């Protein structure tokens, strides 16, 4: 695969989807693919734009190999469609929101993946989570105290999204544009 997989990770409320949307509005489909996740949650205005499957259909799809990666978090199942491999084969930068817990699986399948961790001040995160209205104060507290044991690669790039979205968004966009501009190795290179 000649493209680059970019995994965007971080706590709920850090602003991963906001940064992804910021970049999506500024990059063309020829430059990057933003993976639409499959989630066992109904779509609503407060959550990311995703495809919905019930648990039984999700389990069948996973068993049939329809996901490049899949995992469970917060009582929901998440999957990335197998079609992302076609975009990588075409040399595209492929961006997806992932759980930190699935990073070992990601690095095994895509050893050259770039991991970007979105962080924010804990008070900002708690305020964002409360603003969504999907969780109780207790569940927000549990999320805030959760420590994911998955160790991120030492090459992980961290972006602080505590303040102005444009500032963090421009940093994220710049990283993606650098990857887009990176030369894609040709299948013919090295043959002479």
Tell me: the pLDDT tens digits for 137-157? 666 666 666 665 457 888 999
Specify if 99 maps to a domain. yes
Residue 64: the pLDDT is 95
d(CA 166, CA 179) in angstroms, rounded, equals: 20
62-89 confidence digits (pLDDT tens): 999 999 999 998 788 999 999 999 999 9
Domain count, the chain: 1
Q: How confident is the model at residue 189 (pLDDT cuts 50, 70, 90)?
A: very low
Percent of the chain with pLDDT over 70: 80
Full domain range(s) for residue 13: 4-35+84-180
E strands, the chain, are 4-9, 32-34, 38-39, 51-52, 67-73, 76-81, 93-97, 114-119, 157-160
Specify if 48 maps to a domain. no
Specify if 52 maps to a domain. no
Whether 129 and 38 have beta carbons less than 8 Å apart is answered as no
d(CA 85, CA 110) in angstroms, rounded, equals: 10
Specify if 61 maps to a domain. no
Residue 89: the pLDDT is 93
CATH number of the domain residue 123 falls in: 3.40.50.300
d(CA 32, CA 93) in angstroms, rounded, equals: 5
Specify if 76 maps to a domain. no
d(CA 122, CA 11) in angstroms, rounded, equals: 10
């Amino acid at each position: 695969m000649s493209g680059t997989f970019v995994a965007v990770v971080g706590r709920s409320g850090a602003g991963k989807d906001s940064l992804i949307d910021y970049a999506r509005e500024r990059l063309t489909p020829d430059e990057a693919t933003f993976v639409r996740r499959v989630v066992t949650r109904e779509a609503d205005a407060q959550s990311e734009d995703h495809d919905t499957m019930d648990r039984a259909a999700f389990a069948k799809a996973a068993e049939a190999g329809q996901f490049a990666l899949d995992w469970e978090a917060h009582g929901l199942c998440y999957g990335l469609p197998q079609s992302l491999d076609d975009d990588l084969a075409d040399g595209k930068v492929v961006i997806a929101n992932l759980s930190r817990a699935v990073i070992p699986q990601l690095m095994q399948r895509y050893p050259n993946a770039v991991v970007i961790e979105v962080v924010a001040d804990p008070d900002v995160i708690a305020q964002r989570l409360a603003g969504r209205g999907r969780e109780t104060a207790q569940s927000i507290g549990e999320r805030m105290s959760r420590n994911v044991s998955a160790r991120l690669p030492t090459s992980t790039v961290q972006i602080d999204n505590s303040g102005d979205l444009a500032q963090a968004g421009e940093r994220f966009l710049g990283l993606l544009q650098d990857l887009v501009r990176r030369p894609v190795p040709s299948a013919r290179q090295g043959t002479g």
